Chain A
Amino acid sequence: MPHRDIDADAKERWLDPGLLRWIWLRYRWVYLGCALAVVALMTLPGAEPSGSPSNTFIVIGMCAALFGGVFVVGKQLEDGTVAFLTARPVSRRQIFNTLVLAGLVPWLLFLLSPAPYTLVIALIRPTPAPAVLYRN
């Protein structure tokens, strides 16, 4: 029995299960890499709120690399995908929702770690006293 019929257009799901599986199959290693990167960020000395400024820059740098990388990799992989999908029996809304979700996952992983809070605190906190630097 076909699971797609005329009524499908009327009562449409937000996300298509077939597409979700596709995204998972293609991106699972990328997501794993992001998760590991986030873990690395968490264990890096200076990632806690009291860390030294130089490490903060490393944190910022790594975040930029992480998300820049995800963006570039994502774009590369999905060249032609949207054109391909719009010709299939999925609606543009479902395609959009799925791709947005796919791009959001690294960010969600990032938010699960202390890294963002470290960043924010490092940015709004004044530079630590010189005495701290000379200690090491």
Chain B
Amino acid sequence: MSIPDYDMAVQTRGLTKVFKGQTALQDLDLEVPRGGVFALLGPNSAGKTTTIKLLMNLLQPTSGEMKVLGLDPVQQGVAVRSRTGYQPETGQMPEYARVGDLLELCRSLYPNWNVHKVETYRREFELDLKSFVKQLSKGKVTLLALLLALGPEPDLLLLDEPGTGLDPLRRRQVIKLLVDEVAGEGRTIFLSSHNLPDVERLADRVGFLNRGRLILSRPLDQLLAEEKKIWVVCPEGIPGDLADWPGVRRIERENGRTVLVVSGQVEEIAEKLRSLDRVTFEILDQTLEDIFITYAEEQEHATP
């Protein structure tokens, strides 16, 4: 009765979901390696929640395949869910249930429920066993949902906007907690967020989702190192073949300045620019937000 071994915590191929003529997710090809933290970024209605719900088998896919922890969520939903901790974005909890009752229920449903750890976190989150869910503030509901996701000692944590309703202090507390959880071996975290600074702290790997399509999926360090903008000042005009230099995605004009949008090969481009006469340039670091906007804009232009 051992689970099959897996090296991809999550794997999808051509995953598509259509709601009443609206395509929420189109052809998702995603691979999330085991261990570490993967962050799915994107604006609202990009399809992040849809993706997570599909992985939990809360929604049926229209087409495509997926594997979670080496198992098929459609055929083996119970097995997947017994090893996955799920934190929904909002709601989805019985309003007239007490915190204590929900914990008891989960204790009997999950095989590896860790009572001791749950109690420790419950105290840290200041959740009263006797409170009804309806009485809890938005932030406390988020913390309760997180608690219920951590309790099963899951191999995979699926967190949909884990910062919802949390003040900065609590958000920091949650990040520290997640950092600690991931330091334990083998556990994988898959979270969706539009809080980019927090994602930069946590993620090993990020994916950009926009209008149902995955426009990027790369290790975070690599992404920040490769995606740059370079201001170039060429009093004698830019070299004719500049647009064709390897690594140059496109050339923009901003306030009379020439800006190279670069994806990789940053060192090489800098060397070449240095070797040109009377050319000054400055390499600008791009934040996650900047990079996302660059790629989203490209996508908009490509598919009207």
Query: Which residues does A use to contact B, with CB under 8 Å?
Result: 2-9, 12, 16-19, 21-22, 25-26, 76-81, 83-84, 86-91
Contact = CB atoms under 8 A, between A and B. Distances in A.
Interface string B71-112: 100011111011000101001111111000110111011111
28 contacts: A4-B111, A5-B1, A8-B82, A9-B76, A9-B77, A16-B109, A18-B109, A19-B109, A21-B108, A22-B104, A22-B105, A22-B108, A25-B101, A77-B94, A77-B97, A79-B94, A79-B96, A80-B93, A80-B95, A80-B133, A81-B94, A81-B97, A83-B91, A88-B110, A89-B79, A89-B109, A89-B110, A90-B78
B276 interface: no
Interface in B124-175: 133
Give chain A's interface secondary structure class: helix
Nearest to B53: A87
B302 interface: no
Contact of A6 (B1, B81, B91, B112): B1
Contacts of A17: 108
Nearest to B88: A87
A19 to B, nearest CB: 8
B40 to A, nearest CB: 18
A30 to B, nearest CB: 12
Contacts of B91: 80, 83
A4 B76 CA distance: 12
Nearest to A22: B105
How large, as a class, is the contact surface on chain B? Answer: 20 to 34
A134 B216 CA distance: 88
A88 B87 CA distance: 11
Given A18-B109, A80-B94, A83-B91, A4 B58 contact: no
B71 A88 contact: no
B9 interface: no
B76 A18 contact: no
A3 B58 contact: no
A102 B75 CA distance: 27
Given A83-B91, A87-B88, A88-B109, A2 B58 contact: no
Given A12-B78, A79-B95, 10 more contacts: A4-B79, A5-B1, A6-B1, A9-B75, A26-B97, A80-B95, A83-B93, A89-B81, A90-B78, A91-B77
Contact of A84 (B79, B92, B104): B92
